[in-house]
Structures are given as structure tokens and as C-alpha cells.
Amino acid sequence: MAFIESMILASQAYNNAFSAIAAQTGISLAAVSLLFGIVSLWSLAWKGIALWKSARKKSPVWFIVLLAVNTIGILEILYIFIFSKIGKEKPISVKARKTKK
């Protein structure tokens, strides 16, 4: 029962927050809710890609930072396109590996 009551209180808190934002900006409550949903999905998509990439590169520090910090996708985009490529070496081709005898 306590769980249900806490969920109801959380729902009321979000409704109050969205109502306050809607009142201050002059935007409808539905538009504020839709905007929040779009931003959440945007952030979730970039966070998922960045976390996957940092895990594949075996970068635990980046993984923890990306997991803990919420920047609406900005840090995640920077990691994917800039920081993950720093220190990346080009693979050596098969021809270059063979030594001449």
C-alpha cells in the first residue's frame, strides 16, 4: 500500500511541476508533457549509444560518467563523435604485418 501511495504522490508532484512550467511559459500542459517526453527519448537514445560504445572500448571511467551525469545528450554526443576517437590507432593491414625474408 505504501508503494501505491508513493506513486500517487510522485504523480501529483510531476503534475504540479508541469502545471507550473505551463503556467509560466504560457504553453499548454499537454505540450509541456509532450516536450518532456521527446527530450527524455532523445536523451535515452544518445545515452544508450554512448554507454554501448564506452563499454565496447572498455572505458569504465567514461561508462560511469555517462551513466551518472545527465546532460540531455550533449556529453553523450561529444563522447561518441570526439572523445571515443582520441587515442584510436589505425589497424595495421595484413600486408604491413608480413615481414620480408
Buried b (16+ CB within 10 A) or exposed e, 34-70: eeeeeeeeebeebbebbbebbeeeebeebbeebeeee
pLDDT of 49:
95
pLDDT of 26:
93
Residue found by looking up cell 540531455 in the block? 72
pLDDT of 90:
60
Show the low-confidence residues of the chain (pLDDT under 70).
1, 88-101
Measured CA to CA, the distance from residue 73 to residue 86 in angstroms comes to 19
